[in-house]
Chains A and B, each alone.
Chain A
Amino acid sequence: MTFLQDYAYYIGAFGLVFIGLFTMLVKRNLIKVIIGLSILETGVNLFLISVGYISKGTAPIFSKTGLKAERMVDPVPQALVLTAIVIGVAVLALALSLAVRLYHHYGVLDLRKIKEQRW
Chain B
Amino acid sequence: MRSIISFVLLLIITWGISLSLDRIPFGESKTHVGDYYIEKGREETGASNVVTSVVVNYRGFDTLGEVTVLFVAAIGLSAVLYTRRKKQKGEVEPASLVLTTGCRFLFPLILLFGAYIFIHGHLTPGGGFQGGAIIASAFLLVYMGCRGRRISETGSKTVESLSGLIFLVVGLIGLAVGGRYFLFNFLPKGELNSLFSAGIIPIIYIAIGCKVGSELGGIIDRLVEESG
Contacts and interface: CB of A to CB of B under 8 A. Distances in A.
Interface in A79-119: 79, 82-83, 85-87, 89-91, 93-94, 96-98, 100-101, 104
Contacts of B76: 94, 97
A69 B38 contact: yes
Contacts of B62: 83
Interface string A36-65: 000000000000001111110001111101
B14 A14 contact: yes
A76 B2 contact: no
Interface string B21-56: 100111111110110011100100000111100110
Interface string A3-23: 000110110001000100110
B63 A83 contact: yes
Main secondary structure of the interface of B (DSSP, over half): helix
A86 B129 contact: yes
B10 A101 contact: no
B38 A53 contact: no
B24 A51 contact: yes
Contacts of A21: 10
B183 to A, nearest CB: 15
B7 interface: yes
A22 B51 contact: no
5 contacts: A61-B51, A62-B193, A63-B48, A69-B38, A94-B80
Interface of A: 6-7, 9-10, 14, 18, 21-22, 25-26, 50-55, 59-63, 65, 69, 72, 74-76, 78-79, 82-83, 85-87, 89-91, 93-94, 96-98, 100-101, 104
